[in-house]
Amino acid sequence: MASSTARTRWSIAGLVLLFVLVLGFVWHSAQRGMLGLSGDTSAIERLTGPQFSLAALFAHMVTGAVVTLLSVVQLAAPIRQRWPRVHRVSGRVLAGLAFITGVGGLIYIALSGTVGGLPMSIAFGLYGTLMIIAAIQTPRFAMARDYARHRRWGLRLIVLGLGSWLYRLHYGLWYGTTCSLSDSLCGIAAEPDFSGLFDQINLFAFYLPYILVLEWWLRREQRVQGDHTPYASS
Ligand code: HEM
C-alpha cells in the first residue's frame, strides 16, 4: 500500500515535470503558427512553397502544440481514474487534432518538400502517416469498446504526440553535451542544412526507437497478463 502510494506520487511528479518541460516548445509552436496564420511574414523564416502549403504548416503548428500538451494530460492515470469524462473529451480532441497535424505536415511535405531534403521528407512523412493511423485507430477501438486495443493505440498516439518535442529535446541535449566538452566539439555533426550525422540519425530517432520500445513493452505486458491490462476491464 505504502509502496503504491509512493509510486503514484513519483508518477505525478514525473508528469508535472514533463508538463513543465514541454511548455516552452508548446508556446513556441502555437505562437509561430498563429503568427503565420495571421499573415505575419516573419513567421516564414526558412519555409518555402505555395501559400496553401504554408497555411497548412502553420495550422499544424497550432494543432501540434495542443497535441503535445494533451499527450501529457492523457498519460496522467489520476486524471483518467478520477475524471473519466475529462479523459474522454481530451482524448477526442487529441485524436482529432493529431489527425489535422499529420495531414497539415504531409500537405507541406508534398507541396514544398523540407529544408533537409529527401531524407527529412521521408522521415517526417512516415512520422505524419503513423500519427494519422494512430489518430484514427485510437477512437475507432474506443467506439468498438475494444478497450485493450484502444489503450495500445492511445499509447502509440501519445508517444508520437510527444515526438516533435523529443526531436528538439535531442538537439538541446546534443548541443548541451558537446558544447560543454569543448568549443571545437560544440554542435559537431549537426549542420544548418541538416546534413550532419547527428541530424540524419535524429530524423528517425525522435520517434522510431520510442515506438519500438513501446511495442516491446506492450508485447511483454500481453505475454504476462494476457488481455487483462488496466484498461481491458474499464
Ligand atoms: C506533435 C505535434 C507537432 C508539433 C508541435 C510540430 C511543430 C512544428 C514546428 C513549430 C515547426 C517549425 C519549426 C520550428 O519552429 O521549430 C514544424 C515544422 C515542420 N513540421 Fe511539425 N510539428 C508536429 C508534428 C508534425 C508531424 C506529424 C509532421 C509530419 C507530417 C510534421 C512535419 C513538419 C514539417 C515538414 C516541418 C517543416 C520542416 C522544414 O523546415 O522544412 N510535424 N513543426
Query: Is residue 120 assigned to a domain?
Result: yes
The total domain count for the chain is 1
What pLDDT is stored for residue 23 in this prediction?
98
Query: What pTM was estimated for this model as a whole?
Result: 0.94
171 vs 160: CA distance, rounded Å = 17
CB neighbour list of residue 58: distance below 8 Å, 6 or more residues apart: 32, 33, 34, 35, 36, 37, 43
> Does residue 114 belong to any structural domain of this protein?
yes
Place of cell 485524436: 95
232 domain-assigned: no
Ligand 1 pocket, mutate which of 26, 61, 69, 156 (most atoms under 8 A from CB) = 61
CA of 120 to the centre of ligand 1 (A): 11
Residue 234 pLDDT? 35
Q: Using CA positions, which residue lies closest to atom 3 of ligand 1?
A: 64
CA distance 73 to 106: 26
For residue 234, tell me if it sits in a domain: no
Domain span holding position 87:
2-225
Give the pLDDT of residue 2.
67
Query: Residue ranges of the chain with pLDDT lower than 70?
Result: 1-2, 226-234
Q: Per the domain annotation, does 138 fall within a domain?
A: yes
Neighbours of 211 (CB within 10 A): 17
CA distance 168 to 175: 11
The residue whose CA has the least distance to atom 17 of ligand 1 is 61
> For position 228, what pLDDT does the model report?
60
Atom in ligand 1 nearest the alpha carbon of residue 68:
1
Query: Is 124 part of any domain?
Result: yes
- The protein residue whose alpha carbon is closest to atom 14 in ligand 1 is 29
Distance CA 160, CA 137 (A): 13
Contact 30, 173 (CB under 8 A): no
Q: Which pLDDT belongs to residue 33? A: 98
Residue 230 belongs to some domain of the structure: no
Q: Domain for residue 201, yes or no?
A: yes
CA of residue 105 to ligand 1 center, whole Å = 6
